[in-house]
Structure 1
Amino acid sequence: MEVDNDEYFKSYEDLDIHELMLKDKPRNEAYRNAIMSNKKVFENSYVLDVGSGTGILSIFAAQAGAKKVFAVEASKLADLSREIVKENNFEDVIEVVNCKIEDFKLPETIDKVDIIISEWMGFYLLHESMLDSVLLARERFLRPGGLMFPDKAIIYISPCKLPSLFDDWENVSGIKMTKFAKQLRAQKSSKPEIQTIKNDDLLSEDTVMAFLDLNDVSSSELDLFEFNEVLVAKNSGNFQGMCIWFDVLFPSNDHEVILSTHPKDEPTHWKQTIIPLPSNIEFLEESYPIAFKLIIQRNPEHFRRYNILLEILDPESEDVQHPLPCDCNLTKCILTKAHLASLANQNNFENA
């Protein structure tokens, strides 16, 4: 576990990674808007920035009027962060601390902080497992009633088309390359693909796979996510993979700020996480049911990694539970939906 940690922190000394994040406008603007729209809670507050990196979030907090910001960064990037803080004239407000959050201690004069800020999200939200460090900081350092920025996270899933892995190989300068595409997909099957897909390539409506409230979720709850569902195609097309993305939400009374990685929104460096199928299931018509089981489980040997298992199920199997009512085109669901509608109409008539 320690080796895994050391490799993780060292990787964040690569400035190319931070260049990618600093050029991610939706990411930066979401945090800036969330913090600046909550100036009243940041004014004269004690703030802890977990995994502060270049220090940009700490500077936002200082600009919002924080009394003191503790920017905790485990990698050697902390040295550069101090220079950036000084460059922006906040060295009297922001203290950059070069250590792991597990080793951090507040000054004796400060019992708890008022706010924790962190950009902890990885691909499909969970990759890298930095959220565990944020939750540890919450337990150790956040006062009762203190705020988390962000404070909620949602993982979404949808079946999708993947023309870049399937259809685009039908004609390569007049040559069919479908056999190459098949081998390419087999090579990519060992891990999810990170790519940007079009909103039109989603085959169903957004479906929530997991909801995390950062105010009370525990680290153990992050070990396993199991999703067994029947989704209904809202668009026709080739079923070629599953698409996963996430939103994070920030505390707000009036001005809601959401950082979304949905395909319809401005692209971020997280893009979307794609689980490609080895082959087309079949061309799906609108209202066709898609049954599947998805397991995202923490790797027992590398706690910052997750294993992902996708199993496509037969939607007509007796073991597959359809939602009630279900909008799919299977006869049993059509009849069930009609029966439920009839009962509802009867109840309305009797109550009239």
Structure 2
Amino acid sequence: MDSEIEGDLNCNRDMNLSHAMLNDPISCNAYYELFQTHDDLFKDKIVLDVGCRSGMLSLMAVEVGAIKVIATGNMESADFVEKALSGSEKEDIFESINGSIEQIRLPYGLKKVDIIVSEWMGHAIFTESLYRDVIYARDKWLVKGGLIIPNVATLFMAGISKHVPENFQEDEIDSEDEILLEDYVRPDQLMTHRFRLKITNLSVANKEDEYFQGPFGMNALRDGEIEGFVLHFDVAVAHDKISMPLFSIGPRAPKTYLKQTVIYLEDNLMVQKHEMIEGYIGMFANKSAVRGVEFILGMKTIYESSSEMSE
């Protein structure tokens, strides 16, 4: 894909996410509590906002005492932060840098930053994420022992019953081609306990950790049919100096700007209460989609089949 076209696609996606973030009270309030409760961590520190998706984390860092906040990525959100600070005594603290993370240089000859903030998570953590950008910034600029906020995302999956997507007509989801979508699942649709697939900690992760495969096993909550699986995750901060859960995008949690990922089965799976459902799942780079991923789902023991899906 032409690099200029790819850049435009990334920008459009980031802007769509930024508007959704700013209108999401769940994540906004979680970040606000984090910054206000731990404002001492930011005082007189140099902060790098990787992606600047909504500009919210940059603005909060300025407000709680950072000596310099540098934003990369979404220049429209960076402009929003500049306008919000314009005319105040803190307007010179914030600065944005245009360009890809691999091409930019920090201003004033700076070599390191004390803290990286980023709204890096995408759907199923890694779809449309800034994971690799944060890893790159961490390895190049973050001081030893520096903080990444937020740095932990824990991915779960659970079996679900028949699911009708929001704003869809009942007869619109019967197509065999509709096997993967981003949506919200209600708690009463859960057919199994949740299974923890992966914990991602950006403080220690490698860029290859973005993709994985492995087995899963979960018990049925009741008799019925499993139509598919839902992927969702919890977000937290976990460092020596700070440990705090932020928000969840699970079916039992309030809705956020991040949707869950629903993977349909080609054939429904009949289960009985307490029965174990076993299988494997993989997530890999989708080379045909910018920041996209491909899922591979297979069932074993009681459901011998597999299928591939892309997002």
Matched with 1:94 is: 94
Matched with 1:257 is: 245
Matched with 1:220 is: 208
Letter matched to residue 178 of structure 2: K
Separation of aligned partners in 2, 1:17 and 1:258: 18
The verdict on how the C-alpha distance between 1:289 and 1:257 changes in structure 2, with shifts beyond 3 A counting, is closer
Which is helix-richer, 1 or 2?
A: 1
Give the deviation of 1:87 after TM superposition: 7.0
Separation of aligned partners in 1, 2:294 and 2:262: 14
The verdict on how the C-alpha distance between 1:135 and 1:87 changes in structure 2, with shifts beyond 3 A counting, is farther
Separation of aligned partners in 1, 2:296 and 2:28: 32
2:300 equivalent to 1:299:
no
> Would you say the 8 A contact 1:50–1:73 is kept in 2?
yes
Give the deviation of 1:107 after TM superposition: 3.2
Unpaired segments ≥5 residues, structure 2: 305-311
Give the deviation of 1:272 after TM superposition: 1.2
> Would you say the 8 A contact 2:75–2:96 is kept in 1?
no
Letter matched to residue 265 of structure 1: A
The correspondence of residues 149-188 of structure 1 with structure 2, limited to 5 A, is 149-164=149-164, 181-183=173-175, 186-188=176-178
Matched with 1:193 is: 181
The verdict on how the C-alpha distance between 1:266 and 1:289 changes in structure 2, with shifts beyond 3 A counting, is same
Q: Percent identity?
A: 25
Separation of aligned partners in 2, 1:316 and 1:237: 15
> Would you say the 8 A contact 1:148–1:251 is kept in 2?
no
Matched with 1:281 is: 269
Letter matched to residue 256 of structure 1: M
The verdict on how the C-alpha distance between 1:132 and 1:230 changes in structure 2, with shifts beyond 3 A counting, is same
The verdict on how the C-alpha distance between 1:13 and 1:49 changes in structure 2, with shifts beyond 3 A counting, is closer
Separation of aligned partners in 2, 1:264 and 1:281: 23
Matched with 2:56 is: 56
Separation of aligned partners in 1, 2:181 and 2:79: 34
Separation of aligned partners in 2, 1:311 and 1:274: 15
Describe the SS at the equivalent of 1:276. strand
Give the deviation of 1:285 after TM superposition: 1.7
Unpaired segments ≥5 residues, structure 1: 318-352
Separation of aligned partners in 1, 2:152 and 2:88: 30
Matched with 1:209 is: 197
> Would you say the 8 A contact 1:13–1:75 is kept in 2?
no
The verdict on how the C-alpha distance between 1:181 and 1:246 changes in structure 2, with shifts beyond 3 A counting, is closer
Describe the SS at the equivalent of 1:250. strand
Give the deviation of 1:230 after TM superposition: 2.5
How many residues align? The count is 300
| C-alpha distance after superposition, 1:181-211 (max 9, x if no partner) | 532xx1312xx21111112222222211011
Structure index of larger Rg: 1
Letter matched to residue 106 of structure 1: L
Matched with 1:9 is: 10
Which is strand-richer, 1 or 2?
A: 2
Letter matched to residue 56 of structure 2: I
Give the deviation of 1:154 after TM superposition: 0.7
Separation of aligned partners in 1, 2:223 and 2:94: 53
Describe the SS at the equivalent of 1:269. coil
Give the deviation of 1:159 after TM superposition: 0.8
Quick check: 82-91 or 262-271, which moved more? 82-91
Give the deviation of 1:255 after TM superposition: 6.3
Describe the SS at the equivalent of 2:269. coil
Separation of aligned partners in 2, 1:13 and 1:116: 18
Describe the SS at the equivalent of 2:86. helix
The verdict on how the C-alpha distance between 1:41 and 1:78 changes in structure 2, with shifts beyond 3 A counting, is closer
| C-alpha distance after superposition, 1:1-24 (max 9, x if no partner) | 63564133331475x543221111
